[in-house]
Amino acid sequence: MSALRHAILGLLARGAHTGYAIAKQMDRPLSYFWQARHSQIYPQLEAMTRDRLIEPTTIPGPGPRPTKEYRLTEAGREVLLAWLISPLPPLQAGRDDFQLRIWSAWLLSRDQVVALVRQRRALVAERLAEYESTMTGVGAGDDLSLDDPLFAEWMSLQAGKGYEEHRLRWCDQMLTRLGANT
């Protein structure tokens, strides 16, 4: 199951959409959602229909081909739910599976969301510790010369560490909002 499938399932769980509407949501990268072009989405909708995760109904619309509105099948909803509560993959660069799951967190119970965020928090804390131990080896930033490769590395590490700190704070904020202690 690819991330794109999960993104589409997450969108359709909120209601029926045409391929065009899905493509429009995924075309602009705001709100931390998945990004994809319509040329990727239309074939994927075909494949998901074949796999009985979604089903189309033809509705009136413009253009040379029939306009189709897709909705989740029961199997589709089950696949989405199973993915939401499966163990998180390790942190990786680029596209973020966890962030995609959060978009569908409204389908889960409070306890399930808390468990998901706690898993995330553990992974982020681990990564943050790696950053901190790496950074003791690089130096203080103020002591480094601008034309020293270590200065550039320090800048990169500052960015990476700040990023993980943000993600950790977010987890803690959400756990507080959910009424769970960190």
Q: Which residues of the chain form contacts with its own copies (CB under 8 A)?
A: 14, 29-35, 91-95, 99, 102-107, 110, 113, 127, 130-131, 134, 141-142, 146-149, 151-153, 155-160, 162-163, 165-167, 169-170, 173-174, 177-178
- Binders of DNA among residues 14 to 33 (CB under 7 A) are 18-21, 23-24
20 binds, among its own copies, DNA, none (CB under 5 to 8 A by kind): DNA
**Letter for the amino acid at 20?**
Y
The token pair that represents 59 in the structure block: 């509705």
Length of the chain counted residue by residue:
182
One of 28, 31, 65, 181 touching DNA (CB under 7 A): 65
Closest CA to 156 of 142, 135, 137: 135
Q: How far apart are CA 53 and CA 13, in angstroms?
A: 11
- The single-letter DSSP state of residue 144 is S
The token pair that represents 55 in the structure block: 């089903």
87 binds, among its own copies, DNA, none (CB under 5 to 8 A by kind): none
Closest CA to 33 of 91, 82, 105, 107: 105
- Pick the stretch among 41-49, 113-121, 133-141, 147-155 that binds DNA (CB under 7 A): 41-49
- The contact set with DNA (CB under 7 A) reads 2-4, 18-21, 23-24, 35-40, 42-43, 45-46, 61-69, 95
